[in-house]
């Protein structure tokens, strides 16, 4: 022990330890010698103190008790007493400080090195040490052992003889002394001759030696840092900074050990999904303890990744490979092609797959749930903690934005992986879960202005933890917004107080954008690769190892990406997002329940309400609205058992459908026509129809999924019945007028899903009535004002699409037939190898192109037939009549005419060529439209394709196909057309002498209603120019802008034509007549 004249180095510490006063329980001075009772109480108290200290500290002042039950003789304290002529061997609290100092100096200084198991637990101590021997032989082990004995001593017989007040004060004093000595040792370990590495290893012994041991040891650490925290609050900022710096040097090596162990677990997780509980216990201490959380979050090499050696910011991947949170979140079965996981050595057809899948998902849920609990607890410790945690997510997303690039981009390999981002998203979704059960008040908390902050640097400051840097804000304001509005200027950081709910909401959106959807694209591409390699394998052109690698990758992604917990939380999150978007566009003071479609049907917007809604949507990044259809599509492409989630989420799907319908219908709220088309596409993915799945591998599974909720979604959604018919027609038309130079074929990526949705909803009573009303309105517009309704434009584009697709499909089949005939007849035998290979390549390419064209042609013609069967007037009005007749006659001729043999390829099914279905659809159109006499009269007028034998040829084919339901109707129609044809012959001969000025300059037919084009001055028939204006708003003669209301009637010319037709038309009439 130090000389008694040496100042006590712990005295100042104890004076500021927040309750650990060594003189608090000094023996009471004796009162009057006659006061026997007081003496007995003092004697009892002293005896209790002695027993308590002896039990807890394992020390003695009696030479006879040395080494008894592990007790250590404190010779220094004993010598001090003897020098003061005090020969008592009773342990006193007044000397607690000196006893601990001497006992700690008696501990071993032997260097500790540890070996760690693959699961991250301590299994061996180098040098023959045992874990148990550290308890009283090394300094931390001794203090920890005292802490453990402290709990057991609370209920000892000797302590129970003290009053409650003295008993509690004694315990507080001893606990405070233990904690303060521990923190002093940790801050100044080198002054005891202990290396920092040994200190970290000794700490690790207790942290990584079983969850129960770790919990108890970290409870002791927590008590120690709590006492330090109280002391530092009294000493001021300068002392606090110095103390935290000292503690950092002691605990950072422990954190580095944790990083190393997590790396081991991370590598093992792909084959053995398990994470020991000690990590969560330690992480909770590091992030929720008031002192340790400050140290952890300011450690750039632990909490945030360190900058690169050249001074550049860390790469995005550094968050996954270096940080504590990143290493834990990287535990995932997702692997890159060629790497192994737990699925690598299993048979995909066995039950082992399901077991492994379940094990991974269970551990992923445990990891993310525990981490979420820790992060929320840490956020509640202090505003600084909350800011640091949110900035960890934000900085991670900021440096990983290259994940939005193409998967084949080199930049994509410098970012965090799919599994990491899926786990991050899972954790953030759990953090959002308290406000996923939303109310109108909670929806108002989420501030859309968060995405418009511009006053924020793009690079982090040196002191991230104590700054107001918001990495999200440096990029969100540059994102394309949903609507255009000049008033939506970038906001200043001081204008809005950013709340925790708002930040979590936007962070989660960004995480799902960076994580879930790129992961889904990886999954989609791996499916395509598997299909291609599987076909190559069957032909002997691929190695089995390549196919197995893709299967392993698929199974890993399927396990994590389609984790039911993740999908269920994401469904609820996008339910919240849908409600929030609808809430934003409500008029001021509106009490509409956005979750109730009936309430939304009553929504009425004044012009100022529309402007307000535009301003709100001009704050919202486009990707947040786009994520809703993306998620619906993702779930619909999931394994069959996952799609069942749709049946369990009616309320969520109902609100999502409301968002889709409203934003499709009100184009002023969505400036991007491609986004509106995506919204329309997602309607198809909500359909209950199972024929969307054509894969023979999955169709049986998908057919077993119940569809009641999705049927109810469409049959009982009043807002969809009100708005969806016109909204989806509007989107179909607007795709044509995007103003972009994209290829014509690309539009079918949008239109095919729309047609599929129309096929489902059109026959439903509520929707059908709305379609009929829209169709009648379109005809009324043309007849009353000459205006072109969106429905008329839709029908015209539908016919255009059918023409394009059928032309392409049939021409491809003709070329395929030619090549197949050449090959079958031996025409390729004389070719050299290179020429023959070129022919094979050409045939394969034609086969590849023919199938999608035929498939889309079938859908388009089938939709035409569906509309014809219910709506006759729009097809037989003056604008559409001749166009529809020409279409039907031409393709009827292609299917039954003399050249039909050129389409007779070897395998119809391989090319999706269904001539019987096409013919039946076209004949159905004829039969449906024949109820209008004008249509019957127009059929034989088509001189391009119609002939007297055409209808008879069609009848012969129908008889061969045994289409009895159509034969009788077709026979009646044919008879009516023949009668009209005889009458037309006489009329056409007479019209042949018509003056040139009576003829339409475009079609060369006699004009019915001549109109003058204001720009070019040409006179054309109204029917001709209206048909042109359906797809082109310009004068066909000089390309000047032209709309129907600009057409100028020429009544005098119309009257002259009328008089000429009623006169003797055998001779031409002069121009001046």
For the residues 226-247, what does the mean pLDDT come to? 73
At 196 the pLDDT is 65
Averaged pLDDT, 998-1022: 88
pLDDT at position 358 is: 86
Q: Which of 30-44, 467-481, 714-728 has the lowest mean pLDDT?
A: 30-44
pLDDT band at 740 (very low <50, low <70, confident <90, very high): low
H-helix or E-strand spanning residue 1002: none
Close Cβ partners of 681 (under 8 Å, ≥ 6 residues apart): 629, 633, 750, 753, 754
What are the two backbone dihedrals, phi and then psi, of residue 1041, each rounded to the nearest 5 degrees?
Answer: -60, 140
Using alpha carbons, select from 127, 177, 213 the residue that is nearest to residue 13: 177
The residues near 649 (Cβ < 8 Å, ≥ 6 apart) are 568, 571, 575, 709
Q: Which position has the higher pLDDT, 790 or 157?
A: 790
- Point out the least confidently predicted range of 54-63, 179-188, 571-580: 179-188
Give the pLDDT score at 33.
46
CB 321 within 8 A of CB 419: no
Mean pLDDT of 994-1017: 87
How many CA atoms does the CB half-sphere of 886 hold within 13 Å?
11
pLDDT at 139 over 50: yes
Name the more confident of 711 and 348: 711
H/E element, 899: none
Q: Round to whole Å and give the CA distance between 183 and 250.
A: 10
Judged against a pLDDT cut of 70, whether residue 744 lies above it is answered with no
User: What are the pLDDT digits (tens) for 370-386?
Assistant: 999 999 999 999 888 88
pLDDT for position 192: 62
Q: Is 265 helix (H, G, I), strand (E, B) or coil?
A: helix
d(CA 418, CA 517): 10
- Cα 597 to Cα 20, 570, 726: the distances in Å are 65, 22, 17
Taking the complete model, does pTM exceed 0.95, yes or no? Answer: no
Return left, alpha or beta for 590; rule: phi > 0 is left, psi -120 to 50 is alpha, else beta.
Answer: beta
Confidence of residue 464 (pLDDT cuts 50, 70, 90): very low
Find which of 242-246, 407-411, 449-453, 788-792 is predicted with most confidence, using mean pLDDT: 788-792
Above 60 in pLDDT, residue 592?
yes
What pLDDT was estimated at residue 873?
Answer: 93
The confidence score (pLDDT) of residue 342 equals 66
> Is pLDDT larger for residue 118 or for residue 952?
952
Q: Which pLDDT belongs to residue 37? A: 54
Q: How many helices (H) and strands (E) does the chain have?
A: 45, 7
In our burial notation (b when 16+ CB lie closer than 10 A, e otherwise), range 93-123 reads bebbbbbbbbbbebbeeeebebebeebbbbe
What tens digit of pLDDT does each residue of 518-557 get?
A: 999 988 888 888 888 777 777 677 777 777 778 888 888 8
């Amino acid at each position: 022990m130090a000389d008694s004249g040496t100042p006590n180095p712990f005295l100042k510490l104890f004076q500021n330890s927040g309750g650990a006063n060594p003189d608090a329980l000094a023996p009471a001075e004796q009162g009057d010698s006659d006061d026997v009772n007081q003496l007995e109480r003092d004697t009892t108290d002293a005896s209790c103190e002695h027993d308590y200290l002896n039990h807890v500290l394992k020390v003695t002042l009696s030479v006879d008790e040395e080494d008894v039950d592990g007790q250590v003789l404190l010779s220094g304290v004993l010598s001090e007493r003897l020098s003061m002529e005090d020969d008592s061997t009773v342990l006193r609290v007044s000397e607690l400080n000196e006893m601990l100092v001497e006992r700690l100096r008696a501990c071993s200084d032997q260097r500790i090195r540890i070996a760690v198991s693959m699961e991250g637990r301590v299994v061996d101590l180098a040098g023959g040490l045992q874990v148990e021997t550290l308890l009283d032989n090394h300094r931390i082990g001794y203090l920890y052992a005292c802490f453990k004995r402290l709990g057991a001593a609370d209920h000892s017989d000797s302590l129970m003889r003290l009053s409650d007040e003295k008993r509690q004060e004694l315990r507080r004093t001893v606990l405070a002394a233990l904690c303060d000595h521990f923190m002093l040792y940790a801050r100044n370990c080198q002054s005891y001759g202990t290396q920092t590495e040994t200190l970290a290893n000794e700490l690790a012994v207790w942290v990584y030696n079983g969850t129960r041991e770790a919990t108890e040891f970290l409870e002791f650490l927590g008590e120690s840092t709590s006492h330090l925290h109280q002391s530092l609050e009294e000493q001021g900022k300068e002392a606090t900074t110095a103390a935290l710096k000292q503690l950092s040097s002691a605990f950072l090596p422990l954190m580095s050990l944790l990083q190393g162990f997590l790396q081991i677990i991370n590598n093992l997780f792909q084959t053995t999904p398990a994470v020991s509980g000690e990590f969560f216990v330690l992480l909770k201490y590091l992030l929720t303890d008031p002192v340790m959380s400050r140290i952890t979050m300011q450690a750039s090499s632990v909490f945030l990744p360190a900058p690169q050696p050249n001074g550049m910011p860390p790469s995005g991947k550094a968050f996954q490979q270096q940080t504590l949170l990143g290493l834990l979140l990287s535990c995932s079965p997702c692997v890159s092609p060629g790497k192994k996981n737990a699925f690598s050595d299993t048979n995909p057809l066995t039950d082992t797959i399901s077991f492994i899948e379940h094990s991974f998902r269970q551990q992923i849920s445990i990891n993310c749930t525990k981490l979420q609990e820790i992060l929320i607890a840490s956020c509640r410790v202090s505003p600084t903690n909350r800011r640091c945690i949110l900035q960890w997510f934000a900085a991670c997303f900021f440096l990983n934005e290259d994940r939005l690039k193409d998967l084949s981009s080199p930049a994509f390999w410098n970012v965090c992986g799919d599994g990491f981002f899926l786990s991050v998203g899972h954790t953030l979704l759990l953090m959002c879960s308290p406000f996923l059960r939303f109310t109108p008040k909670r929806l108002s908390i989420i501030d859309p202005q968060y995405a418009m902050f511009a006053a924020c640097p793009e690079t982090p400051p040196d002191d991230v933890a104590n700054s107001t840097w918001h990495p999200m804000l440096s990029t969100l304001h540059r994102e394309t917004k949903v609507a255009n509005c000049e008033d939506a200027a970038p906001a200043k950081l001081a204008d809005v107080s950013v709340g925790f709910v708002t930040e979590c909401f936007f962070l989660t959106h960004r995480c799902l954008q960076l994580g879930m959807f790129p992961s889904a694209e990886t999954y989609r591409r791996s499916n395509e690769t598997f299909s291609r390699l599987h076909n190559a394998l069957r032909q002997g052109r691929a190695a089995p190892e390549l196919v197995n690698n893709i299967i392993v990758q698929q199974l890993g992604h399927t396990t994590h990406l389609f984790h039911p917990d993740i999908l269920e939380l994401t469904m609820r999150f996008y339910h919240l997002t849908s409600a929030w978007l609808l809430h934003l566009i409500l008029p001021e003071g509106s009490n509409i329940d956005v979750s109730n479609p009936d309430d939304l049907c009553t929504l009425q917007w004044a012009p100022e309400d529309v402007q307000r809604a535009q301003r709100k949507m001009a704050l919202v990044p486009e990707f947040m609205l786009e994520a809703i259809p993306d998620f619906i599509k993702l779930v619909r492409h999931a394994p069959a058992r996952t799609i069942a989630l749709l049946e369990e989420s009616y309320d969520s799907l109902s609100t999502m459908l409301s968002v889709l319908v409203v934003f499709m219908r009100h184009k002023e709220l969505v400036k991007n026509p491609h986004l509106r088309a995506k919204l329309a596409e997602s309607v198809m993915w909500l359909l209950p129809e199972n024929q969307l799945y054509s894969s023979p591998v999955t169709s049986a599974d998908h057919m077993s999924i119940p569809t009641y909720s999705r049927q109810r979604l469409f049959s009982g959604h009043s807002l969809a019945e009100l708005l969806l018919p016109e909204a989806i027609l509007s989107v179909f038309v607007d795709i044509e007028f995007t103003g972009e130079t994209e290829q014509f074929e690309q539009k079918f990526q949008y239109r095919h899903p729309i047609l599929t949705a129309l096929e489902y909803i059109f026959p439903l009573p509520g929707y059908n009535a709305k379609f009929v009303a829209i169709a009648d309105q379109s005809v009324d517009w043309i007849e009353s004002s000459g205006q072109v309704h969106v429905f008329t434009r839709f029908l015209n584009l539908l016919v255009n699409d059918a023409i394009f697709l059928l032309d392409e499909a049939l021409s491809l089949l003709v070329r395929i037939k030619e090549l197949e005939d050449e090959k079958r007849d031996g025409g390729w035998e004389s070719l050299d190898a290179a020429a023959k290979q070129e022919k094979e390549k050409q045939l394969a390419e034609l086969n590849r192109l023919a199938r999608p064209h035929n498939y889309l042609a079938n859908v388009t013609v089938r939709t035409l037939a569906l509309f014809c069967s219910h709506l006759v007037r729009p097809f037989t009005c003056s604008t559409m009549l001749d166009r529809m007749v020409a279409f039907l006659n031409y393709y009827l001729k292609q299917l039954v005419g003399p050249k039909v043999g050129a389409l007779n390829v070897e395998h119809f099914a391989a090319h999706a060529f269904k001539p019987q279905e096409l013919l039946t659809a076209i004949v159905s159109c004829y039969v449906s439209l024949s109820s209008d006499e004008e249509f019957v009269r127009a059929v034989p007028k088509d001189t391009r394709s119609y002939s007297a034998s055409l209808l008879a040829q069609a009848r012969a084919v129908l008889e061969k196909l045994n289409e009895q339901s159509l034969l009788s109707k077709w026979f009646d129609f044919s008879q009516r057309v023949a009668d009209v044809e005889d009458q037309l012959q006489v009329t056409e001969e007479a019209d042949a002498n018509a003056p040139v000025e009576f003829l339409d300059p475009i079609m060369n037919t006699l004009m019915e209603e001549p109109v003058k084009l204001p720009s070019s001055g040409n006179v054309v028939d109204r029917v001709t120019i209206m048909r042109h204006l359906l797809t082109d708003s310009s004068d066909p003669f000089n390309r000047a802008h032209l709309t129907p209301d600009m057409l100028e009637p020429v009544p005098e010319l119309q009257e002259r034509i009328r008089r000429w037709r009623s006169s003797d038309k055998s001779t031409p009439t002069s121009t001046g007549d």
